[in-house]
């Protein structure tokens, strides 16, 4: 795609290509957030599920802290996904509004 070359920086200076190719690459960069956040938070969920299994129910303070952490991680996942989706409205501006 010519956008992942070493001479292209984060501001896309050094990119030499047509606009549809750039828009497609920006769309891919925008869409890659969902698998990343899902995988990231599923790792957290796996660790928290492990702790739910090994911490006995008689340790009430630990269980409360653990469930508070589960809720916090769930809120973090929801916030991350919603921010990625709605930070730039309309969504198409993530890849169609190009300032060259």
Tell me the pTM: 0.78
State pLDDT tens for residues 4-48: 888 888 878 888 888 888 888 888 888 998 999 999 999 999 999
| Pairwise pLDDT comparison (33 vs 99), residue with the higher score | 33
Q: To the nearest 10°, report the CA torsion of 84, 90, 95, 97.
A: -130
Q: What span, in angstroms and rounded, lies between the C-alpha atoms of 93 and 43?
A: 31
Q: What is the pLDDT of residue 3?
A: 81
- pLDDT, tens only, 59-82: 999 999 999 999 999 999 999 999
Res. 94 pLDDT band, cuts 50 70 90: confident
- Over residues 51-58, the mean pLDDT reads 96
- Structural domain spans, the chain: 31-96
Distance between CA atoms of residues 44 and 74, nearest Å: 10
């Amino acid at each position: 795609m010519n956008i992942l070359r070493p001479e292209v920086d984060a501001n896309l200076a050094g990119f030499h290509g047509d606009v549809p190719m750039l828009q497609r690459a920006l769309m891919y960069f925008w869409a890659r957030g969902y698998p990343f956040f899902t995988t990231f938070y599923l790792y957290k969920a796996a660790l928290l599920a492990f702790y739910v299994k090994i911490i006995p129910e008689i340790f009430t303070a630990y269980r409360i802290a653990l469930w508070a952490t589960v809720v916090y991680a769930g809120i973090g996942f929801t916030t991350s996904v919603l921010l990625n989706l709605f930070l730039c409205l309309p969504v198409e501006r993530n890849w169609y509004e190009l300032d060259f």
